[in-house]
Chain A
């Protein structure tokens, strides 16, 4: 489990990028739900934490593919592969991410730091 931040420091409508490898984005939706997905868009190297959060979807800040935070599914090109999702746990008002052990769908040209 990775500690992300105190719940109070991630207001609704905001996102946080965790500098793990690969980076993870944690979102706090306007409805008060918390979700975590890989931060890197599956199309090109862009940080989804910089994207636009609307409902349970985040729109990539560069090319506007939208990912469903619950499933990781993408709506339209240019991205065509889902983004990996992670479980979020809140304990004692601290947000934790339980990283998925599925392989990430990183964009072409982006590799894990350990495998550069």
Chain B
């Protein structure tokens, strides 16, 4: 079993810098602990006490002061240079990422590569530039006061400290958040999700190589759930908190936050897909099924962008049940390219419960069909009842018929707080009105099946501004 030192601290603190020495202790008191992720990797973390957490926050705030002097184009260049290393096949950091990610994130090596490629694309200078331009009509507001409405001047300031609480294990999500915080001129303390701790640490190393000033404004620090004193210390020092997690996690953070500290919360959400008649015509059905299978397989379905079910329109060249069979074939094909990772026991248990129940329903002759290999790699269930059903994840998807795509918005009613991405294909000229309906019931992103897993860097994640949402505006009203 290998051990990865899964932290990053700004210089001047014990345990700082780019050491990969796993035996490193903090303050010479060996306050580190390890957590196993999977069978082959252990993550080592400093075990912060409240005083240590306070020192980290204060040091970050000091380091962050210099961010205000940096220009956006210089920041983008540095961040982009660090990010691009994860796309360079010869780069040792990319190699380390590819080596560690399968165990750290519970993905197959091929899926880990796919995830890294997809994520790191958004860490390049080109994408970050587009993010800034998409968010600010005049990006100069990040560099200094600019003319505003009514003769006033405005500037976007950073926060004293952004505290980012990561979740789960969609690897790479945390790195995007770090880069956005720095672009917004804020130092950032990341508490990573256990399954997304490797990439932020490697990214901080990349920053240290190309721009030490930036890496000094970054910390990656884990503390176990229930370390309330540490968390309170950190939250009290945050200028803004970004939290990813389930409803309970978000609520707990909200409850512990000073009233004046803004919170950006990304709660868990679901994706769905609508497959219209046009996507079933003229040999398009297979292509559609393959795109659908890749969307479900990516991140082993753990993303909020991952589809739980496919509503397939009746009256096309092939029936929804026929398309389910094609989707199953496509899932098998994708499994060859991008094998599923091992199923965590709780997912395996739910897969067995759902599969067995629906195989009994199939035996009952009520129109259900279960498609699956002998192992747990993927499952497609065709169900005649169009009502929304959630997946248990682990590449388990529902296929349900609808007489007309117009009915899907009604089926999503009641799910508003949980909806995120809807893939829409084969709707032809009906797309604009369908998108209006979907937006109306709470969907915040409509896309194609092919793009479904990969929202661009500038997307309005859960309907929020990714960069504008982090800054603090200062108005200068000039007489």
Q: Indicate whether A and B interact.
A: no
